[in-house]
C-alpha cells in the first residue's frame, strides 16, 4: 500500500511552535517520524527555513531521510 505523501512548507514547520497550531502540526510530525506519512519538502522551503530559529529547524532533523522526499527547485516550480 502506498503511503500518503504530504507537502509541507515553512508555515507547517513553524506551526509546531505556534500555540494555535502546535497540536495539529506536532501530530502530523509524529506520523512523519514513524513513517505512517511521507513528508514532501521543496528546496525552496529548505532555503526559507535556514533563517528560522534553531528550535524550528530542529523539527526537520527529527524526520528520517527515508520518510521524506525532497523536491528540487526548477524553472517549472518557479
Asked if pLDDT for residue 26 goes beyond 80, the answer is: yes
Q: What angle do CA 42, 31, 3 make, to 5 degrees?
A: 70
pLDDT of residue 78: 65
Asked if pLDDT for residue 77 goes beyond 70, the answer is: no
pLDDT, tens digit (0-9, with 9 covering 90-100), for 28-48: 999 999 999 999 999 999 999
Cβ atoms of 15 and 24 within 8 Å: the answer is yes
Per-residue confidence band for 1, with pLDDT thresholds at 50, 70 and 90: confident
Taking the model in full, what pTM does it have?
A: 0.85
pLDDT, tens digit (0-9, with 9 covering 90-100), for 41-73: 999 999 999 989 999 999 999 999 999 999 987
Amino acid at each position: 500500500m502506498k503511503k500518503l505523501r504530504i507537502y509541507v512548507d515553512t508555515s507547517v514547520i513553524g506551526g509546531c511552535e505556534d500555540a494555535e497550531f502546535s497540536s495539529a502540526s506536532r501530530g502530523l510530525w509524529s506520523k512523519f517520524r514513524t513513517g505512517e506519512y511521507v513528508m514532501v519538502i521543496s528546496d525552496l522551503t529548505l532555503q526559507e527555513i535556514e533563517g528560522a530559529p534553531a528550535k524550528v529547524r530542529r523539527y526537520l532533523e527529527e524526520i528520517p531521510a527515508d520518510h521524506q522526499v525532497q523536491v528540487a527547485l526548477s524553472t517549472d516550480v518557479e
